[in-house]
Amino acid sequence: MFKKLLLQTMVWYLMLLIFPAMVPAEAELSLEDQVRAGSTPVDNCMSLDGQLLFVLTRQGKLEIYSSDLALKENLSLDFPADRIAVSGKGDILYLTDSKTGDIRMIRVDFIQDIDIQGSPFKGPENGPVTIVIFTDFQCFYCAKAVSLLEEVALAYPDQVKIVLKNFPLSMHKSALPAAAAALAAHNQGKFWPMHDLLFDNSDSLTPEKIKECAQTLGLDMDRFNADQDSPKIQLKIHADLLDGREAGVRGTPTIFVNGRRLKRRTFQGFKTLIDEELKKQPHG
């Protein structure tokens, strides 16, 4: 028994020598920002990405703030609640009334106002439903989305307008020149054929392959080369990137249906949102 106790003591002593006790670092507090809620807060939570703060108030209000504490929404609830939690993506809220034990699951839809002026589109120009896709020509999932969008366009030929915004990711070296090439083809009325060719070759895009696609379409190559490198097209791509970031785009493809983010990238996911939007339209 004594030997066992001695052995344990020696082990602990060696551990202390090897792993000295952790001394807490000195902590300091500093106020980064402050805002006064419009009503008396009773609970709050933040989305996992730190972009949205949800504040539940005693007066039955739900206040939504951006990460810099700018008020985005001030919504009235038609039921009592004094506890709030949020899903990882920030699109589902769980509101609890501690008096009754009722828990309500609420979907949050942020309607994004996306500038589509001058962006390539297909479908009726004034269709009641506008689908905006932020895409990257080297993105595997963007390539898969092409056939899905075609299926949607066929199902809603008179109702849906599809708009493309470029969002080339920095990890894809050929995404930016491919986006410029597509817009250069757009100047010659061949955006969608170029779009399809680029996605058909998305896993092997090189400067040579991009030019080959342009030649296949019979484009004026002198004009194509000049347009591809033009400041105007580079500024358009940059504007698309800024619009995407403003709308919360972090990856591709990101798709919006009348400003509402598509969460299920399936035909049924599209159909659900499109049909909901069509029901909002006045009947003539």
Q: What is the pLDDT along the chain (284 residues), one digit of tens a residue?
A: 555 555 666 656 666 566 555 556 677 776 667 767 777 899 999 888 788 899 999 999 999 988 888 888 888 999 999 999 998 767 789 999 999 999 999 888 789 999 999 999 999 999 999 999 999 999 999 999 999 999 999 999 999 999 999 999 999 999 999 999 999 999 999 999 999 999 999 999 999 999 999 999 999 999 999 999 999 999 999 999 999 999 989 999 999 999 999 989 999 999 999 999 999 988 64
State the average pLDDT for the chain: 90
Distance CA 223, CA 201 (A): 23
Residue 114 three-state SS = coil
Distance CA 273, CA 258 (A): 9
Other Cβ atoms less than 10 A from the Cβ of 124: the count is 15
> Cα 142–147–149 angle (5° rounding)?
80
Q: Put the strands of the sheet holding 41-46 in their side by side order.
A: 41-46, 52-57, 61-66, 71-76
Burial 5-32, CB ≥16 within 10 A → b, else e:
eeeeeeeeeeeeeeeeeeeeeeeeeeee
Interval 78-99: pLDDT, tens: 999 999 999 876 778 999 999 9
Interval 245-264: pLDDT, tens: 999 899 999 999 999 999 89
Pairing of strands 260-261, 71-76: unpaired
Assess contact for 122 and 130: CB atoms under 8 A: no
Quote the pLDDT of residue 22.
56
H or E element in which residue 62 lies? strand 61-66
> Cα 228–229–234 angle (5° rounding)?
90
Domains of the chain: 41-107 (2.40.10), 121-279 (3.40.30.10)
List CB contacts of 236: < 8 A, sequence separation 6 or more: 118, 166, 183
Distance CA 94, CA 117 (A): 38
Q: What is the pTM of this model?
A: 0.77
Interval 57-79: pLDDT, tens: 999 999 998 888 888 888 899 99
